[in-house]
Every structure is written in structure tokens, then in C-alpha cells.
């Protein structure tokens, strides 16, 4: 037998760990989280200058130091939040992510998943699919995000955007709407971060894209399809186009089973050829 032996089992079963959160989702998500936190903390300082209710926010959790400083922070972060939010909405619709990941939301599904969550029976095995409660929360918070930006714009330019002010029923109501959206976002954030910490693999996926390592815990052999990812090809992603056969030097990459088959038929060059195809030589 030749010294060249390839584990057929590994060759045929090793696939890259599935990409759960594509890179664009991760980037916009964390930019959004950063911008939201700046907006909330500076917003609290602005609120303190003219409170709507009988309470104010502790100086220690506000940003900007005083009204003028807070306004500067708020408007600077606003551009980041708005541009980033528009990118997220555009890509969410264009790639079909919203349709695939956030729909459908049915009352029956929400009730069943809420019950399961409250009795700790909700499964987190497949992170690539959101449960009905997540779908509802994410769709809801995206809508709240749109409303908070629109109500903020109406208060920023009430003369130029008078139609927007009218849509909210007047400047004062827009202020209450803006505050309510902030409260909903803060409540969402508390629950969202707590759940992310309770299911750390979901947090890992939002940081590195995958649940575990690049090839998953049991994967030893790299997949040539994935090595192309940095060059633009994607592997295991859920988004549109992920199923298309990835290209390798301008031609279709052989499937792993095909690669093993070709190897058995001696069509690989020892060393460079094997390494090139990413197969393990024992
Ligand atoms: C700063 C702390 C935050 C942490 C640790 C965090 C964590 C996460 C994690 C782990 C997921 C994936 C959930 C899963 O796969 O089950 C996620 C998704 C999501 N988060 Fe956050 N998040 C944070 C802030 C925010 C903020 C401020 C917002 C919006 C106000 C937000 C909105 C979302 C949305 C809409 C998704 C679903 C994204 C999609 O699938 O397109 N997150 N977050």
C-alpha cells in the first residue's frame, strides 16, 4: 500500500463549521450596538436638561457632561446609527435574510415558544434558525429602531420635516414616542444580553460567525472550499447564493467525496497537490 493514505471517512464527512452569522450581519450588529449605546447615554443627558417625567438619569450613566456636549455626541452617533441601519435594512431585504430568518411569525408559534422558553424546554441546537420569540423580538426592535430615528429626525428639523412632525401628532408627542422607543430598546437590550450570555454559543456566532472553531470541534481537515472564503467565496452560509458551487481558480471546486475518489484513482500529486486540495496525508 502506498504511504499516501487518506482517511476516506474524514475526506467524505469533513465539512466546514456552518456560518451562522455572515460577516456583514456581524459588522452591522456590533456597529449598531456601539452607536445605540452612545445614543442612549447621550440621550439621557439631553433628557436631564428638560425632563418629561419626575425623574432624571444619574450623571454617572450619561454621556457628554452637559446639554451641549450630549447633543454633539447624539448627532455624531446618529449618523453612524442611521447609515449603519440603512445598510442593514438594504442588505436584509436584498439578500432575503429578513424573509428567511425573521418570517413567518405566527401567534401559535410565539405562544408555543414562549411556553417552552419559560419551562426551559426551548431548543438552541440549531442556531441558524431563530425561534418564534426571537423572530418577534428582532422584527419588533428593528421597527422600534426605525420609529426612534424618524421621531428623532422630526424633533431635529421640525420646520423642514413638519410633515413628519404632523405624522407623530405634534412635537410634544414625538418627544414621548422617542422616549418610549428608547425605553423599549433598553428593555430589549437587558433581555437580549441576558439571553446571549445564557446561550454563549449564540454570542460566539455573533462574534466569529460560527458556533465553534473554523471547522467545528470534530473537524481536522480543512475544506478547500472554505479557504476561498477570504477571497469572497462563502461556505456553509445560509444567505442567498451560499448554495452555489464555489469557484477555485476559475473552475468549480471538486466536492470532498469527489476529491477522495480522485485521490484513490491516483490523480493527485503527492505533497503540493494534496496540500493544495487540503487533504490530510497520513
Ligand atoms: C451590546 C450588547 C449586545 C449583545 C451582547 C448582542 C448579542 C446578540 C447575539 C448573540 C445575537 C444572535 C442571537 C442568536 O443567534 O440567537 C444578536 C442578534 C441580534 N441583535 Fe444583538 N446584541 C447586543 C446589542 C443589540 C442592540 C443594541 C440591538 C438593537 C437595538 C440588537 C439587535 C439585534 C438584532 C435585530 C439581532 C438579529 C440580527 C439578524 O439576525 O439579522 N442587538 N445579538
Claim to verify: residue 54 and residue 126 sit in the same structural domain: yes
In a mutational test of the pocket of ligand 1, which residue from 41, 99, 192, 200 has the highest number of ligand atoms less than 8 Å from its CB? 192
pLDDT on residue 223: 47
How far is the centre of ligand 1, averaged over its atoms, from the C-alpha of 56 (Å)? 28
For the purposes of burial, counting CB atoms within 10 Å of the CB of 261, is it exposed (0-12), middle (13-18) or buried (19 or more)? middle
With a 6 Å cutoff on the Cβ, whether 141 touches ligand 1 is yes
Claim to verify: residue 103 and residue 161 sit in the same structural domain: yes
Structural domains of the chain, count: 2
Nearest residue (CA) to ligand 1, atom 4: 193
In a mutational test of the pocket of ligand 1, which residue from 203, 206, 237 has the highest number of ligand atoms less than 8 Å from its CB? 206
pLDDT on residue 10: 52
Claim to verify: residue 191 and residue 238 sit in the same structural domain: no
In a mutational test of the pocket of ligand 1, which residue from 21, 24, 29 has the highest number of ligand atoms less than 8 Å from its CB? 29
Claim to verify: residue 136 and residue 178 sit in the same structural domain: yes
Claim to verify: residue 59 and residue 105 sit in the same structural domain: yes
Residue 182 lies in a domain: yes
List of long-range contacts for 263-272, beta carbons under 8 Å, 24+ apart: 263/4, 263/6, 263/11, 264/8, 270/4
End-of-domain residue from the set 208, 237, 262: 208
Domain that holds residue 99: 23-208
pLDDT on residue 277: 29
pTM attached to this predicted model: 0.76
Residue 214 lies in a domain: no
pLDDT at residue 111 greater than cutoff 50 = yes
Residue 2 lies in a domain: no
Q: Is 19 helix (H, G, I), strand (E, B) or coil?
A: coil
End-of-domain residue from the set 208, 232, 255: 208
Residue 103 lies in a domain: yes
Residues 279, 6: contact at Cβ < 8 Å? yes
Hey, which bits of the chain come out as E strands?
247-248, 251-252
How far is the centre of ligand 1, averaged over its atoms, from the C-alpha of 102 (Å)? 13
pLDDT on residue 18: 83
Contacts of 222 (CB under 8 A, 6+ apart): 214, 215, 278
How far is the centre of ligand 1, averaged over its atoms, from the C-alpha of 29 (Å)? 6
pLDDT at residue 133 greater than cutoff 90 = yes
With a 6 Å cutoff on the Cβ, whether 101 touches ligand 1 is yes
Q: What is the pLDDT of residues 20-32, one digit of tens each?
A: 999 999 999 999 9
pLDDT on residue 97: 97
Average pLDDT rounded to a whole number, residues 24-46: 98
Residue 3 lies in a domain: no
Residues 120, 138: contact at Cβ < 8 Å? no
| pLDDT > 70 fraction of the chain, expressed in percent and rounded | 70
Residue 184 lies in a domain: yes
pLDDT at residue 53 greater than cutoff 50 = yes
Claim to verify: residue 193 and residue 111 sit in the same structural domain: yes
pLDDT on residue 12: 52
Residue 137 is part of a domain; what is its CATH number? 1.20.950.20
Average pLDDT rounded to a whole number, residues 59-80: 98
With a 6 Å cutoff on the Cβ, whether 204 touches ligand 1 is no
End-of-domain residue from the set 161, 188, 208: 208
How far is the centre of ligand 1, averaged over its atoms, from the C-alpha of 50 (Å)? 31
Q: What is the pLDDT of residues 203-247, one digit of tens each?
A: 999 999 998 766 654 444 444 444 444 444 444 444 543 333 333
Q: What is the pLDDT of residues 145-200, one digit of tens each?
A: 999 999 999 999 999 999 999 999 999 999 999 999 999 999 999 999 999 999 99
Residue position matching grid coordinates 456581524: 26
Residue 144 lies in a domain: yes
Amino acid at each position: 500500500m502506498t504511504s499516501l493514505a487518506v482517511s476516506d471517512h474524514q475526506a467524505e464527512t469533513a465539512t466546514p463549521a456552518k456560518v451562522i452569522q455572515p460577516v456583514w450581519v456581524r459588522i452591522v450588529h456590533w456597529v449598531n450596538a456601539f452607536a445605540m449605546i452612545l445614543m442612549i447615554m447621550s440621550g439621557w443627558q439631553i433628557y436631564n436638561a428638560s425632563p418629561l417625567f419626575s425623574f432624571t438619569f444619574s450623571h454617572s450613566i450619561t454621556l457628554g457632561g452637559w446639554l451641549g456636549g450630549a447633543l454633539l455626541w447624539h448627532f455624531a452617533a446618529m449618523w453612524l446609527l442611521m447609515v449603519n441601519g440603512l445598510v442593514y435594512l438594504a442588505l436584509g431585504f436584498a439578500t432575503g435574510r429578513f424573509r428567511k430568518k425573521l418570517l413567518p411569525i405566527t401567534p401559535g408559534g410565539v405562544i408555543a415558544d414562549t411556553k417552552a422558553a419559560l419551562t426551559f424546554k426551548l431548543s438552541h441546537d440549531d442556531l441558524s434558525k431563530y425561534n418564534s420569540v426571537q423572530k418577534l423580538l428582532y422584527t419588533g426592535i428593528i421597527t422600534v429602531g426605525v420609529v426612534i430615528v424618524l421621531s428623532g429626525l422630526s424633533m431635529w428639523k421640525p420646520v423642514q420635516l413638519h410633515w413628519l412632525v404632523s405624522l407623530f401628532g405634534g412635537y410634544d408627542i414625538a418627544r414621548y414616542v422617542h422616549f418610549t422607543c428608547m425605553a423599549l430598546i433598553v428593555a430589549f437590550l437587558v433581555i437580549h444580553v441576558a439571553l446571549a450570555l445564557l446561550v454563549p454559543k449564540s454570542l460566539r456566532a455573533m462574534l466569529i460567525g460560527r458556533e465553534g472553531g473554523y471547522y467545528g470541534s470534530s473537524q481536522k481537515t480543512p475544506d478547500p472550499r472554505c479557504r476561498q472564503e477570504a477571497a469572497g467565496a462563502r461556505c456553509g452560509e445560509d444567505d442567498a447564493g451560499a448554495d452555489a458551487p464555489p469557484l477555485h481558480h476559475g473552475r468549480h471546486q471538486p466536492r470532498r467525496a469527489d476529491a477522495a475518489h480522485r485521490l484513490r484513482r491516483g490523480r493527485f500529486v503527492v505533497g503540493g497537490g494534496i496540500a493544495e486540495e487540503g487533504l490530510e496525508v497520513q
